[in-house]
Amino acid sequence: MRLSSQQQEQYIEQGYLVLPGLIEEAALKRYNDRFESLVRGEQALPPGMKLMQDVMVVKGAVQPASELHAVNKLLCFEEDEVLFDFAQHPGLMSAVRSLIGEEIYSLSSNIFNKPPGVDGKHPMHQDLRYFKIGPADKIVGVWTAMFPATRESGCLAVIPGSHTRGMLEHESPDWEFVNHGFFGIEDLDLSQRQHVELQPGDTLLFHPLLIHGSGTNTSDHFRRAISIHCASAECAGEGDWKSNRFTRRLP
Ligand SMILES: O=C(O)CCC(=O)C(=O)O
């Protein structure tokens, strides 16, 4: 699905774009079944994949009701043929190519699992902090809701247009429970913040300098999303980034 010029302009101006219903229910079910089976330990994790537990579970502040209630995210699914099928979805990849060009690589892959009953919030941040390549305009984040992402369940929130502010300082938030690797921008004016509520299959494309984060899941169901970041072959940075263990050229 090539993006229209209007969609491309919206992305350039606002730093994000929602594509409703992009990923089919059957594909979401395959990803979800696989995720649940990996978390339950029904099959071995493929090379490089990691499961990260929620900090409240790690610190013993909550007793998870199941294995699925304990996990904050699954990282690095490049070697999992069921999950990595997401990075080859024709409509999705065509949309990404409309923004950053034809020759693209995946940089990172995650399933973000926000169980009910844990704090789970993610401070407002810019993803470029986690990447050592640029230019930023040639990188795009992709985030597809697997379950409803609402304000109640801790959907993503963004500050429209904030990708034009450059890279801002990030700190570890002074919250009681902060998940591993979560950094945030202090003293942000949140008056322009927008909550991006998505239904399963809806997909957010976002610029790596867009300030975004997510809240606590106060619902009684899981909020879960599958996500990758893609970069153009034109990107450059520290060393030979295309040969990184987790980087893949996308067909
Ligand atoms: O899914 C979430 O709650 C946070 C995801 C996020 O911040 C990201 O994809 O960079």
Residue 239, pLDDT > 90, answer no
Please determine, for residue 179, whether its predicted confidence score (pLDDT) is greater than 90.
no
Q: Give the model's pLDDT for residue 61.
A: 94
pLDDT at 99 over 90: yes
What is the pLDDT of the chain when averaged over all its residues?
Answer: 96
Q: How far is the CA of 215 from the centre of ligand 1 (A)?
A: 10
- Whether the pLDDT of residue 12 is over 90: the answer is yes
For ligand 1, say whether the CB of 80 is within 6 Å of any of its atoms: no
pLDDT at res. 24: 98
What is the mean pLDDT of the segment spanning 16-27? Answer: 98
Residue-level pLDDT at 36: 98
Q: Which of 75, 86, 114, 122 has the most ligand 1 atoms within 8 A of CB, as the residue to mutate?
A: 122
pLDDT band at 240 (very low <50, low <70, confident <90, very high): very high
Q: How far apart are CA 170 and CA 147, in angstroms?
A: 29
Answer whether 119 contacts ligand 1 (Cβ < 6 A). Answer: no
223: Cβ below 6 Å to ligand 1? no
Nearest protein Cα to ligand 1, atom 6? 213
Kindly report, residue by residue over 182-196, the tens digit of the pLDDT: 899 999 999 999 999
Q: How far apart are CA 64 and CA 30, in angstroms?
A: 24
The answer to whether the CB of 138 falls within 8 A of the CB of 234 is yes
Whether the CB-CB separation of 120 and 72 falls below 8 Å is answered with yes
Q: What mean pLDDT is predicted for residues 29-51?
A: 98
Q: Is the Cα dihedral 12, 14, 16, 17 positive or negative?
A: negative
Distance between Cα 63 and ligand 1 center (Å)? 24
Total number of domains constituting the chain:
1
- How many CA atoms lie less than 13 Å away from 213 in the CB half-sphere? 21
Going from the C-alpha of 112 to that of each of 72, 105, 146, the distances in angstroms are 6, 21, 10
Residue 37's pLDDT is 98
- What's 23's domain CATH number? 2.60.120.620
Q: How far is the CA of 243 from the centre of ligand 1 (A)?
A: 25
Is residue 1 within 8 A of residue 22, CB to CB? The reply is: yes
> Is the confidence at residue 9, as pLDDT, over 90?
yes
Q: What percent of the chain has pLDDT over 90?
A: 93
CB 182 near ligand 1, within 6 Å: no
Taking CA atoms only, the protein residue closest to ligand 1 atom 3 is 214
Ligand 1 mean position, distance from CA 142 (Å): 10
127 CA: nearest ligand 1 atom: 10
Close Cβ partners of 90 (under 8 Å, ≥ 6 residues apart)? none
Give distance in angstroms: CA of 66 to centre of ligand 1: 23
Q: Is the peptide bond before 135 cis (omega within 30 degrees of 0)?
A: yes
Q: Is the pTM of this model over 0.85?
A: yes
Place of tokens 């209630």: 69
Spatial separation of the C-alpha atoms in residues 100 and 249, rounded to whole Å: 14
| 35 within ligand 1 shell (Cβ under 6 A) | no
Ligand 1 close to Cβ of residue 227 (< 6 A)? yes
Q: Is the CB of 127 under 6 A from ligand 1?
A: yes
Residue 38 and residue 74 in contact, taking contact as beta carbons nearer than 8 Å: yes
Structural domain of 28: 5-249
Check residue 176 and give its pLDDT. 87
19, amino acid identity: L
Q: Is 143 in the pocket of ligand 1 (CB under 6 A)?
A: yes
* Distance set, CA 248 to CA 97, 104, 110, 128 (Å): 15, 9, 14, 18
Kindly report, residue by residue over 131-155, the tens digit of the pLDDT.
Answer: 999 999 999 999 999 999 999 999 9
pLDDT of amino acid 1: 80
Residue owning tokens 């067909």:
251
